Structure 1
């Protein structure tokens, strides 16, 4: 499961650092490759779960970027 999914009890307690961001970017790369592979094989239905994880990761990264922008 993606690191971007943080249970309610841990929200706000997870430290965002360069290592976490790099891991998310690498995970997104793998998710995109998997999605492309499934779609090229005509199995678009099977890639939906990966699209959901990718979407969640991208929203998480955008939220971090927005929060960081206000801190600068």
Structure 2
């Protein structure tokens, strides 16, 4: 299950930190690799499933980026 998926009852309570963002980026990398592999094998159904998860993750990241003030500097841990 995607690290970006948070059940409705827990939304707004999860802490967004550098570790969570890194895990999400790594998951997106794995999703893209799986999509490319399934596309090369002609397995469209699996592609669509992974594309939906990737889309949800990207929307989540965009939402975080939109709500983060521009003057906040992030440091690598």
Shared fold per TM-score greater than 0.5 = yes
Aligned to 2:57: 57
RMSD: 2.4
Which is worse superposed, 18-27 or 42-51? 42-51
**1:47 CA displacement:** 1.4
**1:44 CA displacement:** 1.9
Q: TM-score, normalised by structure 2?
A: 0.85
Q: How many residues align?
A: 69
> CA–CA distance in 1 between the matches of 2:8 and 2:52?
19
Select the structure that is richer in helix: 1
Q: Deviations over 1:14-56 (max 9, x none)?
A: 0000000000000000000000000011112221111110000
| Structure 1 gaps, min length 5 | none
Q: TM-score, normalised by structure 1?
A: 0.91
